[in-house]
Protein backbone atom coordinates (compact mmCIF):
# COMPACT_ATOMS: atom_id res chain seq x y z
CA UNK A 1 0.00 0.00 0.00
CA UNK A 2 1.05 3.53 -0.66
CA UNK A 3 0.97 5.21 2.72
CA UNK A 4 -1.01 8.37 3.15
CA UNK A 5 1.13 11.05 4.65
CA UNK A 6 0.79 14.42 6.32
CA UNK A 7 2.14 15.68 3.05
CA UNK A 8 -1.01 14.58 1.21
CA UNK A 9 -3.14 16.62 3.55
CA UNK A 10 -0.88 19.61 3.08
CA UNK A 11 -1.23 19.27 -0.68
CA UNK A 12 -4.98 18.98 -0.38
CA UNK A 13 -5.02 22.29 1.42
CA UNK A 14 -2.86 23.84 -1.29
CA UNK A 15 -5.15 22.74 -4.10
CA UNK A 16 -8.28 23.67 -2.18
CA UNK A 17 -6.80 27.09 -1.52
CA UNK A 18 -5.89 27.59 -5.18
CA UNK A 19 -9.30 26.45 -6.43
CA UNK A 20 -10.72 29.93 -5.84
CA UNK A 21 -10.14 32.83 -8.25
CA UNK A 22 -9.81 35.53 -5.59
CA UNK A 23 -7.34 33.45 -3.62
CA UNK A 24 -5.24 32.79 -6.71
CA UNK A 25 -5.23 36.52 -7.36
CA UNK A 26 -4.15 37.26 -3.79
CA UNK A 27 -1.30 34.74 -4.05
CA UNK A 28 -0.13 36.23 -7.35
CA UNK A 29 -0.09 39.71 -5.83
CA UNK A 30 1.67 38.93 -2.59
CA UNK A 31 4.27 36.71 -4.25
CA UNK A 32 5.25 39.78 -6.26
CA UNK A 33 5.10 42.15 -3.32
CA UNK A 34 3.93 41.95 0.28
CA UNK A 35 0.59 43.66 0.94
CA UNK A 36 -1.45 44.44 4.01
CA UNK A 37 -4.86 42.83 4.43
CA UNK A 38 -6.51 46.27 4.16
CA UNK A 39 -4.65 47.01 0.90
CA UNK A 40 -5.93 43.71 -0.45
CA UNK A 41 -9.45 44.42 0.78
CA UNK A 42 -9.52 47.62 -1.30
CA UNK A 43 -8.91 45.63 -4.47
CA UNK A 44 -11.88 43.32 -4.24
CA UNK A 45 -15.60 43.96 -4.21
CA UNK A 46 -16.02 42.20 -0.90
CA UNK A 47 -15.83 42.94 2.78
CA UNK A 48 -12.64 43.16 4.79
CA UNK A 49 -13.80 40.09 6.71
CA UNK A 50 -14.29 38.11 3.50
CA UNK A 51 -10.79 38.98 2.30
CA UNK A 52 -9.44 38.09 5.72
CA UNK A 53 -11.11 34.69 5.43
CA UNK A 54 -9.47 34.05 2.06
CA UNK A 55 -6.10 35.00 3.52
CA UNK A 56 -6.69 32.57 6.40
CA UNK A 57 -7.35 29.71 3.94
CA UNK A 58 -4.14 30.58 2.10
CA UNK A 59 -2.26 30.75 5.39
CA UNK A 60 -3.40 27.25 6.40
CA UNK A 61 -2.17 25.96 3.04
CA UNK A 62 1.19 27.66 3.68
CA UNK A 63 0.78 29.64 0.46
CA UNK A 64 1.13 32.90 2.39
CA UNK A 65 2.35 33.96 5.80
CA UNK A 66 0.91 36.80 7.84
CA UNK A 67 2.85 39.13 10.08
CA UNK A 68 1.57 41.87 12.35
CA UNK A 69 3.28 45.23 11.85
CA UNK A 70 1.76 47.84 14.13
CA UNK A 71 -1.92 47.97 13.27
CA UNK A 72 -1.34 46.37 9.89
CA UNK A 73 -1.40 42.69 9.01
CA UNK A 74 1.16 42.12 6.26
CA UNK A 75 0.72 39.16 3.90
CA UNK A 76 3.74 37.54 2.26
CA UNK A 77 3.63 34.98 -0.56
CA UNK A 78 5.33 31.59 -0.16
CA UNK A 79 6.64 30.81 -3.60
CA UNK A 80 8.03 27.48 -2.43
CA UNK A 81 4.57 26.09 -1.77
CA UNK A 82 3.27 27.22 -5.16
CA UNK A 83 6.24 25.47 -6.76
CA UNK A 84 5.45 22.25 -4.89
CA UNK A 85 2.00 22.09 -6.47
CA UNK A 86 3.44 22.81 -9.92
CA UNK A 87 6.07 20.11 -9.39
CA UNK A 88 3.42 17.50 -8.69
CA UNK A 89 1.68 18.26 -11.99
CA UNK A 90 5.05 18.06 -13.74
CA UNK A 91 5.55 14.57 -12.39
CA UNK A 92 2.10 13.49 -13.51
CA UNK A 93 2.84 14.89 -16.95
CA UNK A 94 5.99 12.77 -17.14
CA UNK A 95 3.92 9.70 -16.23
CA UNK A 96 1.61 10.32 -19.21
CA UNK A 97 4.51 10.99 -21.56
CA UNK A 98 5.85 7.57 -20.68
CA UNK A 99 2.40 6.03 -21.20
CA UNK A 100 2.13 7.58 -24.64
CA UNK A 101 5.58 6.20 -25.52
CA UNK A 102 4.49 2.72 -24.45
CA UNK A 103 1.30 3.01 -26.55
CA UNK A 104 3.46 4.05 -29.50
CA UNK A 105 5.61 0.96 -29.00
CA UNK A 106 2.59 -1.36 -28.83
CA UNK A 107 1.16 0.12 -32.03
CA UNK A 108 4.51 -0.15 -33.81
CA UNK A 109 4.82 -3.83 -32.83
CA UNK A 110 1.32 -4.74 -33.89
CA UNK A 111 1.46 -3.25 -37.37
CA UNK B 1 7.54 8.55 -33.78
CA UNK B 2 5.11 9.75 -31.18
CA UNK B 3 4.80 13.52 -31.30
CA UNK B 4 3.62 14.91 -28.01
CA UNK B 5 2.53 18.19 -26.56
CA UNK B 6 1.29 18.67 -23.05
CA UNK B 7 -0.40 21.54 -21.32
CA UNK B 8 -0.76 21.92 -17.60
CA UNK B 9 -3.29 24.21 -16.02
CA UNK B 10 -2.39 24.64 -12.39
CA UNK B 11 -5.49 26.70 -11.67
CA UNK B 12 -8.01 24.29 -13.15
CA UNK B 13 -5.89 21.30 -12.16
CA UNK B 14 -5.93 19.70 -15.57
CA UNK B 15 -3.36 18.04 -17.73
CA UNK B 16 -3.90 17.85 -21.48
CA UNK B 17 -1.73 15.45 -23.41
CA UNK B 18 -1.68 15.22 -27.19
CA UNK B 19 0.09 12.32 -28.89
CA UNK B 20 0.24 11.32 -32.53
CA UNK B 21 0.55 7.73 -33.63
CA UNK B 22 1.23 6.23 -37.03
CA UNK B 23 -1.70 3.87 -36.70
CA UNK B 24 -5.35 4.14 -37.57
CA UNK B 25 -8.02 5.25 -35.12
CA UNK B 26 -9.34 1.69 -34.66
CA UNK B 27 -5.88 0.41 -33.65
CA UNK B 28 -5.43 3.20 -31.09
CA UNK B 29 -8.94 2.54 -29.75
CA UNK B 30 -7.86 -1.09 -29.22
CA UNK B 31 -5.14 -0.12 -26.72
CA UNK B 32 -7.99 1.18 -24.54
CA UNK B 33 -10.54 -1.52 -25.29
CA UNK B 34 -8.40 -4.65 -25.15
CA UNK B 35 -7.44 -5.30 -21.50
CA UNK B 36 -4.36 -7.31 -22.53
CA UNK B 37 -3.08 -4.28 -24.50
CA UNK B 38 -4.10 -1.89 -21.74
CA UNK B 39 -1.96 -3.90 -19.33
CA UNK B 40 1.08 -3.26 -21.48
CA UNK B 41 0.99 0.50 -21.09
CA UNK B 42 -1.19 1.65 -18.19
CA UNK B 43 1.31 0.89 -15.43
CA UNK B 44 5.00 1.71 -15.57
CA UNK B 45 7.24 -1.37 -16.03
CA UNK B 46 7.93 -1.35 -12.28
CA UNK B 47 4.19 -1.15 -11.46
CA UNK B 48 2.56 -3.33 -14.14
CA UNK B 49 -1.23 -3.31 -14.24
CA UNK B 50 -3.55 -6.31 -14.34
CA UNK B 51 -7.12 -5.70 -15.51
CA UNK B 52 -9.46 -8.22 -13.90
CA UNK B 53 -12.68 -6.71 -15.16
CA UNK B 54 -13.12 -4.38 -18.11
CA UNK B 55 -16.65 -3.56 -19.27
CA UNK B 56 -15.99 -1.22 -22.16
CA UNK B 57 -19.53 0.13 -22.49
CA UNK B 58 -21.38 3.15 -21.10
CA UNK B 59 -21.79 2.76 -17.32
CA UNK B 60 -19.38 -0.18 -17.49
CA UNK B 61 -17.03 -0.96 -14.61
CA UNK B 62 -13.34 -1.79 -14.70
CA UNK B 63 -11.25 -3.26 -11.89
CA UNK B 64 -7.48 -3.37 -12.01
CA UNK B 65 -4.46 -3.55 -9.76
CA UNK B 66 -0.89 -2.51 -10.15
CA UNK B 67 1.86 -4.63 -8.62
CA UNK B 68 4.84 -2.79 -7.18
CA UNK B 69 8.48 -3.89 -7.01
CA UNK B 70 7.93 -5.33 -3.50
CA UNK B 71 4.81 -7.23 -4.53
CA UNK B 72 2.54 -4.55 -3.07
CA UNK B 73 -0.76 -4.23 -4.88
CA UNK B 74 -2.50 -0.91 -5.55
CA UNK B 75 -6.10 -1.42 -6.66
CA UNK B 76 -7.95 0.89 -8.97
CA UNK B 77 -11.25 1.18 -10.78
CA UNK B 78 -12.76 2.89 -13.78
CA UNK B 79 -16.35 3.80 -14.39
CA UNK B 80 -17.11 4.49 -18.03
CA UNK B 81 -19.16 7.69 -18.17
CA UNK B 82 -19.65 7.89 -21.93
CA UNK B 83 -18.30 6.01 -24.88
CA UNK B 84 -18.47 6.62 -28.61
CA UNK B 85 -16.30 4.03 -30.34
CA UNK B 86 -13.77 4.62 -31.80
CA UNK B 87 -13.71 8.37 -31.20
CA UNK B 88 -14.38 9.37 -27.64
CA UNK B 89 -14.12 7.87 -24.19
CA UNK B 90 -14.96 9.52 -20.90
CA UNK B 91 -14.23 7.79 -17.64
CA UNK B 92 -13.64 8.23 -13.93
CA UNK B 93 -10.50 6.67 -12.52
CA UNK B 94 -10.18 6.09 -8.79
CA UNK B 95 -8.40 4.06 -6.17
CA UNK B 96 -9.90 0.98 -4.58
CA UNK B 97 -9.42 -0.90 -1.31
CA UNK B 98 -7.59 -4.25 -1.08
CA UNK B 99 -10.75 -6.06 -2.18
CA UNK B 100 -10.76 -4.01 -5.36
CA UNK B 101 -13.86 -2.02 -4.46
CA UNK B 102 -13.84 1.78 -4.82
CA UNK B 103 -12.69 3.55 -1.66
CA UNK B 104 -14.04 6.88 -0.50
CA UNK B 105 -11.46 9.03 -2.26
CA UNK B 106 -12.80 11.05 -5.17
CA UNK B 107 -12.05 9.95 -8.73
CA UNK B 108 -10.37 11.90 -11.47
CA UNK B 109 -12.08 12.41 -14.79
CA UNK B 110 -10.39 11.51 -18.06
CA UNK B 111 -11.64 12.40 -21.51
CA UNK B 112 -9.93 10.66 -24.41
CA UNK B 113 -10.56 11.72 -28.01
CA UNK B 114 -9.11 10.16 -31.14
CA UNK B 115 -8.93 12.10 -34.40
CA UNK B 116 -7.87 10.88 -37.79
CA UNK B 117 -4.83 12.79 -39.12
CA UNK B 118 -2.63 12.50 -42.20
CA UNK B 119 0.01 10.27 -40.52
CA UNK B 120 -2.52 8.31 -38.47
CA UNK B 121 -4.25 9.26 -35.24
CA UNK B 122 -4.10 12.13 -32.80
CA UNK B 123 -4.96 11.13 -29.24
CA UNK B 124 -5.91 13.83 -26.75
CA UNK B 125 -6.26 12.93 -23.09
CA UNK B 126 -7.58 15.56 -20.69
CA UNK B 127 -7.30 14.64 -17.03
CA UNK B 128 -9.07 16.70 -14.39
CA UNK B 129 -8.08 16.16 -10.78
CA UNK B 130 -10.39 16.62 -7.88
CA UNK B 131 -8.24 14.86 -5.35
CA UNK B 132 -4.63 15.49 -4.65
CA UNK B 133 -4.17 12.10 -2.98
CA UNK B 134 -5.04 10.57 -6.30
CA UNK B 135 -2.53 12.67 -8.17
CA UNK B 136 0.13 12.05 -5.54
CA UNK B 137 -0.49 8.29 -5.50
CA UNK B 138 -0.29 8.06 -9.28
CA UNK B 139 2.86 10.10 -9.27
CA UNK B 140 4.41 7.96 -6.52
CA UNK B 141 3.96 4.84 -8.59
CA UNK B 142 5.24 6.52 -11.71
CA UNK B 143 8.20 7.94 -9.86
CA UNK B 144 9.64 4.49 -9.20
CA UNK B 145 10.12 4.20 -12.91
CA UNK B 146 11.62 7.67 -13.12
CA UNK B 147 14.09 6.71 -10.41
CA UNK B 148 15.03 3.51 -12.17
CA UNK B 149 15.67 5.38 -15.40
CA UNK B 150 17.75 7.99 -13.60
CA UNK B 151 19.82 5.29 -11.92
CA UNK B 152 20.23 3.54 -15.26
CA UNK B 153 21.69 6.74 -16.67
CA UNK B 154 24.17 6.98 -13.79
CA UNK B 155 25.15 3.36 -14.44
CA UNK B 156 25.76 4.17 -18.08
CA UNK B 157 27.92 7.15 -17.11
CA UNK B 158 30.01 4.99 -14.80
CA UNK B 159 30.44 2.30 -17.46
CA UNK B 160 31.55 4.89 -20.02
CA UNK B 161 34.10 6.37 -17.63
User: What are A56-69's pLDDT values in tens digits?
Assistant: 988 988 889 999 99
pTM of the model: 0.67
- The ipTM value here is 0.78
Q: Which residue has the higher pLDDT, A64 or B139?
A: A64
Chain B residues with CB-CB distance to A103 below 8 A = 2, 19, 21, 28, 31, 41, 123
Q: How far is B74 from chain A (nearest CA, A)?
A: 6
Assess whether pLDDT exceeds 50 at residue A8.
yes
Assess whether pLDDT exceeds 80 at residue A82.
no
Say if residues B48 and B150 touch (Cβ distance below 8 Å): no
Percentages of chain A per state (helix, strand, coil), in multiples of 5: 70, 15, 20
Q: How far is B116 from chain A (nearest CA, A)?
A: 15
For chain B, the domain total comes to: 1
Select from A4, A10, A18, A89 the residue whose CB has the most chain B CBs within 10 Å, as the one to mutate to test that interface.
A89
The pLDDT value recorded for residue B60 is 97
List all residues 6 or more positions away from A60 whose beta carbon is below 8 Å from its beta carbon.
A13, A17
- Fold designation for A6-110: Arc Repressor Mutant, subunit A (1.10.10)
Select from B3, B5, B6 the residue whose CB has the most chain A CBs within 10 Å, as the one to mutate to test that interface.
B6
Mean pLDDT of A63-77: 92
Alpha carbons A65 and A75: distance in angstroms, whole number: 6
Assess whether pLDDT exceeds 60 at residue A110.
yes
Burial letters for A56-86: b for 16+ Cβ neighbours within 10 Å, e otherwise? ebbbebbbbebeeeeeebbbebbeebbebbe
Helix (H, G, I), strand (E, B) or coil at A40: helix
User: How long a stretch of residues is chain B?
Assistant: 161
Q: CATH no. for residue B80?
A: 3.30.530.20
Assess whether pLDDT exceeds 50 at residue B18.
yes
The pLDDT value recorded for residue B146 is 44
Say if residues B30 and B37 touch (Cβ distance below 8 Å): yes
Radius of gyration of chain B (CA): 17
Nearest to B112 by CA among B89, B138, B143, B140: B89
Mean pLDDT of B117-129: 90
- Owning domain of residue B14: 3-160
Q: Note whether A67 contacts B: Cβ–Cβ < 8 A.
A: no
For the ranges A22-36, B109-123, B131-145, the maximum mean pLDDT occurs at B109-123
Chain A residues with CB-CB distance to B11 below 8 A = 18, 24
Q: Which residue has the higher pLDDT, B112 or A96?
A: B112
Q: Which helix (H) or strand (E) holds B34?
A: none
Mean pLDDT of chain B: 81
The pLDDT value recorded for residue A94 is 82
The pLDDT value recorded for residue B155 is 42
Amino acid sequence: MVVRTEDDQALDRIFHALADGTRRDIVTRVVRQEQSVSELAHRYAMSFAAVQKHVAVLERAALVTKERRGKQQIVHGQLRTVRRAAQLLDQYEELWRQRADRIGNILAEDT
Amino acid sequence: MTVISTEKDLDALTLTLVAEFEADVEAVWQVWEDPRKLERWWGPPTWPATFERHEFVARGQTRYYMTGPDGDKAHGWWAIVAIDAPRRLELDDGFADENGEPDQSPAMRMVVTLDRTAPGTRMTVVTTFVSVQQLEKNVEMGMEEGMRLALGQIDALLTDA
